[in-house]
Amino acid sequence: MGEPKINDQHIEESQPNRFKRFMKWLWTDYSVIIAFLIMFVVAAFMSPRFLELGNLLNIVMQVSIIGIIALGMTVIMLSGGLDLSVGSVLALVGVLTIMALNATGSITMALLAALLAGPMVGLLNGLMIAKGRIASFIATLGMMAGARSIALYLADGGSMSGEVMAFANISNSDLGMIDVPIIIFIVMTALVYILMHKTRFGRYVYAIGSNEKSARLSAINVEKMKLAIYSLGGLMVSVAAIIETSRLNSISSSSSGQLYELDAIAAVIIGGTRMTGGRGKVIGTFFGVLILGILNNMMNLMNVSPHLQGFVKGLIIIIAVVFQKRE
């Protein structure tokens, strides 16, 4: 039959052919990196200040919180779900963290409270979605309203400040030149990358997002996985909340985390993850986050009116998705 012929062709593949294939692979799998490079070059030409190291670090610093949330969002969206509650949950976790900090005076207890609260809210999301069979959009929309409301109630609608000054050191110290939030963001990216590409958990997430019924019939415990996935999303929000709260040693129950869900989802989409799950990459999200950062930075450097910035951002998101449609 014809098979051996085909094999030969694979082996004897010529050099330019392989290059073409490499470029095609780069384009389909990592078009976000190309988009990032283009934006980077354009930004460098448009504003000389852009390339200053301080400015570059500043960009990463500014996106680190959204970035960490977007990592969790990537996992959730790869499984075919969505989490609209991240912004509200960030405010709630922040409030609880400050309360624990002020009540115990211990930073450890504050961190513990934060790292427990996020996953618990996430688990609740997971329970509604997996056991209650509620669409993730609806379940987390409910959680979005609920978590914000409880945060407002606990903080009496206002801001809460930490009474232990050392708590602010978390976000405001650095290792050499690099701020701690940046390091946390990069370490988190690496951890989620390993989780998604080197472990069973990651495989299962892709399988569920690609075809939930097949996944279940392949003896994957889909319900348990969903609990884990949304809890992980919650954990990422916890980490983001710690950074956010520690930055000014305070949290606003009304405005903190406002619209973070949209930025996080935008970063994931720009990063090439499919809305319905099953396809996408953690690295894509990382660069998606950086693209958002460069965009904000460029508009500030070029004095674009803050009222117009949303328009430009929206435009870029839509353009990014249009380009990715060409698979």
Partner 1 sequence: MALLEMQNINKSFNQVPVLHDVHLEVDQGEIHALLGENGAGKSTLMNILGGIHQPDSGTIKVNGQSVQMTTPKVSQHHGISFIHQELNLVSDLKVYENMFLGQELRKPYGFLDVKEMCRQTEEILTKLGVHIDPQAEVRDLGTSYKQMIEISRALLHKSNIIIMDEPTTALSDSEVERLFELMRQLKQDGISIIYISHKLKEVKSICDRMTVLRDGYVVHTGPLEGQSLDQITTYMVGKSVSEDRLVSHAHTDEVVLSVDHLTLEGFYHDVSFRIKRGEIVGFTGLAGDGRTELFESLFGYRQNFQGDVQINGQSVHLNHPKKAVRAGLGYVPKDRKENAIIQDMDVVQNMSISSLGHFEKNGFINHKIEHKTFMNYKDQLNIKANNPKENIDKLSGGNQQKVMIARWLELNTDIIIFDNPTQGIDVGAKQEIYQHIIQLAEQGKAVIILSSEAPEMMKVCHHVYVMYQGEIVGSFDGSEATEDNILSYATGSKKEAVSVG
Candidate list 214, 259, 315, 319; residue touching partner 1; CB under 8 A: 214
Supply the minimum distance, in Å, between the C-beta of residue 49 and partner 1: 42
313 binds partner 1 (CB under 8 A): no
Specify the residue, 19 or 153, whose C-beta has the smaller distance to partner 1: 19
Q: Which stretch binds partner 1 (CB under 8 A): 124-132, 140-148, 195-203, 249-257?
A: 195-203
- Please give the residues from 57 up to 96 whose contact with partner 1 meets the rule CB under 8 A: none
Specify the residue, 46 or 194, whose C-beta has the smaller distance to partner 1: 194
Candidate list 18, 49, 131, 198; residue touching partner 1; CB under 8 A: 198
Supply the minimum distance, in Å, between the C-beta of residue 74 and partner 1: 15
Supply the minimum distance, in Å, between the C-beta of residue 51 and partner 1: 38
213 binds partner 1 (CB under 8 A): yes
Candidate list 165, 175, 177, 219; residue touching partner 1; CB under 8 A: 219
149 binds partner 1 (CB under 8 A): no
HEC string of the chain equals CCHHHHHHHHHCCCHHHHHHHHHHHHHHHHHHHHHHHHHHHHHHHHCHHHHCHHHHHHHHHHHHHHHHHHHHHHHHHHCCCCCCCHHHHHHHHHHHHHHHHHHHCCHHHHHHHHHHHHHHHHHHHHHHHHHCCCCHHHHHHHHHHHHHHHHHHHCCCCEEECCCHHHHHHHHCEECCEEHHHHHHHHHHHHHHHHHHHCHHHHHHHHHHHCHHHHHHCCCCHHHHHHHHHHHHHHHHHHHHHHHHHHHCEEECCCCCCCHHHHHHHHHHHCCCCCCCCCCCHHHHHHHHHHHHHHHHHHHHCCCCHHHHHHHHHHHHHHHHHHHCCC
Supply the minimum distance, in Å, between the C-beta of residue 159 and partner 1: 42
- Please give the residues from 10 up to 29 whose contact with partner 1 meets the rule CB under 8 A: 10
Q: Which stretch binds partner 1 (CB under 8 A): 97-105, 128-136, 203-211, 289-297?
A: 203-211
Q: Which residues are at the interface with partner 1 (CB under 8 A)?
A: 1-3, 5-7, 9-10, 194, 198-200, 203-204, 206-207, 209-211, 213-221, 278-279
